[in-house]
Amino acid sequence: MANASKNLDVVALTQALISRPSVTPADAGAMDTVQRTLEDLGFTCHRLKFGDIENLYARRGTASPNLCFAGHTDVVPVGTRNLWRYDPFGAEIHDGAVIGRGAVDMKGGIAAWIAAVSRYADQAGSLSLLITGDEEGVAKDGTVRVVQWLKERGEVIDHCIVGEPSSSAQLGDMIKVGRRGSVNATFTVSGKQGHVAYPQRALNPLPVLVDLLAALKDRVLDDGYADFQPSNLEITTIDTGNTATNIIPQDARARINIRFNPAHTGAELKAWFEALAAEHAARSGTKIEVQTAISGEAFLTEAGPFVDLIADVIKDTLGIETDRSTTGGTSDARFIRDLCPVVEFGLVGQTMHQINECASVADLEALTDAYSALIEAYFSKFGSGS
């Protein structure tokens, strides 16, 4: 690869992105910053707006293979503002770290990849970026819609790096090669409202809901799955909206979430919810409604040349053996895996979503070096004519 005329400063670009208060679904100019920078590096950019969400797909080159970087410019809210030591969108540098919302999740990762790309004028294939503004939100008009757009265009992505803050305690100590799936379910039990002194005239939905939740929790979903931790079911809310002390409520509802490994599918769990609800409704004489939302299926990027290449680059550039993990929550990798093998590799995530989120300058520069080495190694291994 030939050196480009530009060699972007990863810290300055991180600061420029943090200064845009792009709290989901607001963009606040963050995508414009990415687009201008990429166009200046020779990328063709497509701005894709779905609903209120700004997205971008950019590509440089037309040959195969196409190595894609995926990330998001949207961030979570800052929380209690007066607990921040500095302006959460000021992007100030203190004690060797850039401080601000999105520093590690994941504007620093985007900046590191773009800075790495800026070191090269061309490559033996194509480089692309898929950047969304809807990863921290409901994720309905972000990456999932861009993936569909790419499929409709016949755009081929051969491999993808997602720049989520995958590292645990030290840069490069962990990459994500898969994720568990996630399903939410809301159970609403409808009985008959009445006075607590005359329970025979009412039908209390709360004991029915308690029994239903106990049945859900009593099932051992599994003891784990190859390369995955066990699935877990958590009750996240129980509510009646009852403000009185002498009324049996009409309705009671609860919401659960299951993070599941490949031993299950979202459809199978949905069918279990509905069957269990029907059983408890018939037994109690109540009506039970179930609403299920599957936000992602479990997936694993199998061990092979692509995963090995990333691990080798991390060892060579950062001097650490990386852990190939499937832990944590969901990410947009769950959508991209429909296109190609995908691995997450980014900054240390200890401060993500926290007050005083920050990324060390040393880590930003080291990640840029690692990404740069990864790009070169990738095209050396998979590139045209290799």
User: E strands within the chain?
Assistant: 44-50, 53-60, 66-72, 93-94, 97-99, 126-132, 159-162, 174-176, 178-179, 181-190, 194-195, 232-239, 247-248, 251-260, 287-296, 299-300, 323-325, 342-344, 358-360
173 is in an annotated binding site: no
105 is in an annotated binding site: yes
Question: With contact defined as beta carbons under 8 Å apart, do 1 and 60 qualify?
Answer: no
> What is the C-alpha to C-alpha distance for residues 347 and 296, in angstroms, rounded to an integer?
23
Contacts of 349 (CB under 8 A, 6+ apart): 104, 105, 164, 165, 166, 167, 168
How much of the chain is in helix, strand and coil states, percent to nearest 5? Answer: 30, 25, 40
> What is the C-alpha to C-alpha distance for residues 299 and 270, in angstroms, rounded to an integer?
18
72 is in an annotated binding site: yes
> What is the C-alpha to C-alpha distance for residues 160 and 131, in angstroms, rounded to an integer?
12
Q: Which residues are catalytic?
A: 74, 135
Residues shown for the chain: 386
Q: Which two tokens stand for residue 113?
A: 């990849």
Contacts of 207 (CB under 8 A, 6+ apart): none
User: E strands within 240-328?
Assistant: 247-248, 251-260, 287-296, 299-300, 323-325
Question: With contact defined as beta carbons under 8 Å apart, do 330 and 257 qualify?
Answer: no
* Known binding residues for Zn(2+): 72, 105, 136, 164, 353
* Known binding residues: 72, 105, 136, 164, 353
